A and B are shown apart, each in its own frame.
Chain A
């Protein structure tokens, strides 16, 4: 299957539409946040910023799971593994994220800790199945895109009667984070909403933001054509004085989302307050295992002592994630902090906006 191509002349046509809409709105500049880290990466990798008219300002948001995971989470994972002789299974993106005291999962692995990078939670399940005597803790991070898959793996573990598979719950929810970004004072005229999170939760999940807070939302796909079209749709909403939820990514996203996935997620997890790096504690923005699955909950059944963590005081990832600071404005950017020697998570993850700015330059 081919990706969505940009027909000849479409870039120019979309540019003109965007310019006309901005002209009609009477504004000099519109500020749009691409919430999702996969969008950030797509925007930089395609050079899209240079194709947009000068009146469009794109701001990266908090949608990079690795970036918003607080250091305490990694500290707890490492302490759990050491205290209980457990193996850790994680999505590869987490491997190099700095934990407290200058360590990381990668460094701990080099030091002998059993750390496995996986593509799917089912890989972690297999690892546990093949080693019945070994506790395996899966680091359950990611947004609504990922949480149903992890819930599916939990149900499978339960069906199989596995007793050595555990989760360290760290999933987070996107709409509450968008509201927190607005409450934190970021000046935004619209949201480019995450495509694959919305496959699960449906476009209606943003109604509160569009109608309640008056900020237009468009759910976008990940091809340059998708993002340009979404920017045009947002610019037209702004010019018309509308504030609605529209779907650009119609080939994958519906209003209702994937009901079966929503139900699976709700059967395994319950909504709880969660700590976000940079945004602090956001009410009802995370997922914890329900009591019925308590025996799989590493935080409950594999207790470990975790000291209060100390993030590097110079690192300003938090402000970058909240849309208040552009990466090159951080004093550490490209000096003390680079992808080879990252200080903060926004430089580690390929989806982090610091890494994107470093790799593709200021566009």
Chain B
């Protein structure tokens, strides 16, 4: 029930915004967020914008995952191809 989706603010009138959710336009109440402006990405829950979706942080998390993957493949590739590592390992006791 805590599902929440990212939406882009298209326009604003008072506490009501028109937002774009994956190509669909709908109304959202923005009274719970300070300083929202068109172009911002917000999190939508039960008809309200409840938080800001920070794209720069999203990119950082993605970069971290890429780095982890690269570091692991660099370390393991000579001895252990990645295909073999997937799902077939066992923890040593």
Contact = CB atoms under 8 A, between A and B. Distances in A.
Contact of B72 (A12, A120, A261): A12
Nearest to A19: B91
A9 B73 contact: yes
A13 B68 contact: yes
B50 interface: yes
A10 B34 contact: no
A48 to B, nearest CB: 12
Contact of B4 (A1, A13, A199, A351): A199
Given A5-B62, A9-B70, A121 B47 contact: yes
B contact residues, range: 35 or more
Given A4-B62, A19-B91, A251-B54, A261 B2 contact: no
A253 B61 CA distance: 13
Given A9-B82, A250-B54, A122 B29 contact: yes
Given A9-B82, A37-B2, A148 B47 contact: no
Given A4-B58, A250-B57, A225 B46 contact: no
Contacts of A38: 1-3
A15 interface: yes
A161 to B, nearest CB: 17
- Of B1, B58, B76, chain A has the most CB atoms within 10 Å of the CB of B1
A143 B55 contact: no
Contact of A66 (B1, B3, B92): B1
Contacts of A51: 87
A301 B57 CA distance: 47
A54 B91 contact: yes
B45 A145 contact: yes
A120 B48 contact: yes
Nearest to A65: B1
A258 B55 CA distance: 17
A309 interface: no
A208 to B, nearest CB: 21
Contacts of B58: 4, 251
A58 to B, nearest CB: 16
Given A91-B1, A252-B53, A261-B32, A12 B82 contact: yes
Interface of A: 1, 4-17, 19, 22-23, 36-38, 50-51, 53-55, 63-66, 91, 93, 119-123, 141-143, 145-146, 148-150, 152, 155-156, 194-197, 199-200, 225-226, 229, 248, 250-253, 258-261, 264, 349, 351
Given A123-B47, A200-B50, 12 more contacts: A1-B8, A10-B68, A13-B71, A16-B76, A19-B91, A64-B1, A120-B47, A142-B46, A146-B1, A148-B48, A194-B2, A196-B45
26 contacts: A1-B6, A1-B55, A9-B69, A9-B72, A10-B65, A11-B86, A14-B68, A15-B89, A37-B1, A53-B91, A66-B1, A122-B47, A123-B47, A141-B1, A142-B1, A143-B2, A149-B47, A150-B46, A152-B31, A196-B3, A199-B51, A200-B50, A251-B57, A251-B61, A252-B53, A260-B32
